[in-house]
Amino acid sequence: MPKDIPLHITHDAFLKSILANRDAAIDFMRTFLPAEIVKHLDISSYSTDETSFINKEMSARFADVVFEVPIQKSKQSAKVAILIELKSSKDDNSIFQLLEYIALAYRKQIKQGKQLQLVIPVIYYHGKQRWQPLKIRDFFIDIPEDLNDFIPSFEHIFIDLKSKSSAEISAIGSILLNTAIQIQMLRLIDELDFSLLLTALSKLDPEKYGNYIQPIIVYLIRYVNLRQKFKSIISLIPEPVKTETMTIYDQIIAEGKAEGKAEGKAEGKAEGKAEGKAEGKAEVVLNAAANGISIQTIAKITGLSTRKIKEIIANKR
C-alpha cells in the first residue's frame, strides 16, 4: 500500500466519498428520503451538482452534497441538498442556519440567471443523542394569531441515523453504502454487534470498490472501538481486504505511538525550560541578596514578586 495514503478522515469526507459512487447515492436517496418525496423524483437519472451553498459561518456546522434530480412528469428538476452534520451534537438553532442555506441556494441560482430549481434540504445527523430539530415557529410561543404569517416556515427532511433499525439498514441494496452505514451505526450504539458489518465487509470486491475500501477501513479503525475485538474481526475478513486492513491498522497504531512520544518530548522540553528559568532566577535572587541588594530592586530585576523572593531566600537558609 502506498505510504502517502492519508490515515485520517472526517465524518463529512467519509460520507461524501461514499456518495460519490452512483449506486450508493441512488440507494441513499431511496432509503432515507420519504416515500411521498421519492415517488415524484427520477432518482436514477440524477446528476451531481458541484455547487455548494455553504457559507463560511455554516461551514463549522455542515458540509453539503447536492444532487440535481429530475422531477417525474415535469420539465423541471430539484436540488436535493444533503447537509451532513459535522459536530454530531444537538443544536436547535441550526434551523436558522438552514433558513440561511435555502436563501443562499436560491440567491446563487438567481445570480446564475437560470430557471429556479426547487431546493429540498436534507439534514443527515449521526450523533449519539436522539434529536428532533425545532421548527422556527417553535421559538415563538406567545405570538398573536394575526402575526403568525410573519414567522418563516419551510419544510426539510431530517435523518437521525440512530433512529434507523437494523432491518432498515440491512435492506440497503448498495454494498458500499450498506457497509458505510453499518460502520456509522456501530459508533452510535453501546453494545457492538459486528456480524452485520462482517457480512458487509466480506462483500466488498476490491476490483469494484478499490477506491472506497481505504477510507472505509480508516474510518472504521478511527471511529469504532475495535481494540479488544480486532483480532477476531480481522480473521473473518477475506483477502485482500484483510491485508489492507492490517496494514492500515498497524500504520494508525504506529502513528498514535509516534504522536504520543512527540507530545511527551514537547512536554518534557517545556517543563525543562520552565525549571531552568526558575533555577536561574533563584540564583540571581540569592546572589543579589548576598550583595545587599534590596528585595524591591531584586523584584524589578527578576520580575518575581517580593513574596516569592522572600521564599527563595528563606529556603536557602
Residues 307 and 165 reside in one and the same domain: no
41 is a domain residue: yes
The mean pLDDT of 109-135, rounded to a whole number, is: 91
Tell me which of 232, 257, 282 is where a domain ends: 257
Q: Which of 233, 257, 281 is the last residue of a domain?
A: 257
% of the chain residues with pLDDT over 90: 38
Average pLDDT of the residues in 206-215: 82
Asked whether residue 161 falls in the same domain as residue 269, the answer is: no
pLDDT attached to residue 63: 92
Residue 95 pLDDT class (50, 70, 90 cuts): very high
Q: Which domain holds residue 277?
A: 258-316
Best mean pLDDT range from 157-161, 227-231, 283-287, 302-306: 157-161
- Domain-embedded: residue 118: yes
- The answer on 150 and 26 residing in a single domain is yes
- Looking at the fold, whether 177 and 286 belong to one and the same domain comes out as no
Whether 41 and 67 map to the same domain: the answer is yes
202 and 306 in a single domain? The answer is no
**What confidence score (pLDDT) does residue 194 get?**
67
Poorest-pLDDT segment among 115-119, 156-160, 198-202, 302-306? 198-202
**Are 307 and 186 in a shared domain?**
no
Last residue of a domain, one of 234, 257, 280: 257
Domain assignment present for 295:
yes
Whether residues 234 and 274 fall in one domain? no
Number of domains in the chain: 2
Do 154 and 18 have their domain in common? yes
Structural domain contains residue 250: yes
What DSSP line would sit under the chain, residue for residue? --TTS-----HHHHHHHHHTSHHHHHHHHHHHS-HHHHTTB-GGG-EEE------TTGGGTEEEEEEEEEBTTSS-EEEEEEEEESS-S--TTHHHHHHHHHHHHHHHHHHHTS---EEEEEEEE--SS---PPPGGGG--S--GGGGGGS-----EEEEGGGS-HHHHHT---HHHHHHHHHHHHHH-SS---HHHHHHHHT--HHHHHHHHHHHHHHHHHHS--TTTHHHHHTTSPTTHHHHHHHHHHHHHHHHHHHHHHHHHHHHHHHHHHHHHHHHHHHHHHHHHHTT--HHHHHHHH---HHHHHHHHHHH-
Residue 177: inside a domain: yes
Do 26 and 163 belong together in one domain?
Answer: yes
Residue 3 lies in a domain: no
236-263: pLDDT as tens digits? 666 767 777 777 777 777 776 665 555 5
Is 4 contained in some domain? no
Whether 76 and 199 map to the same domain: the answer is yes
Domain identity same for 195 and 312: no
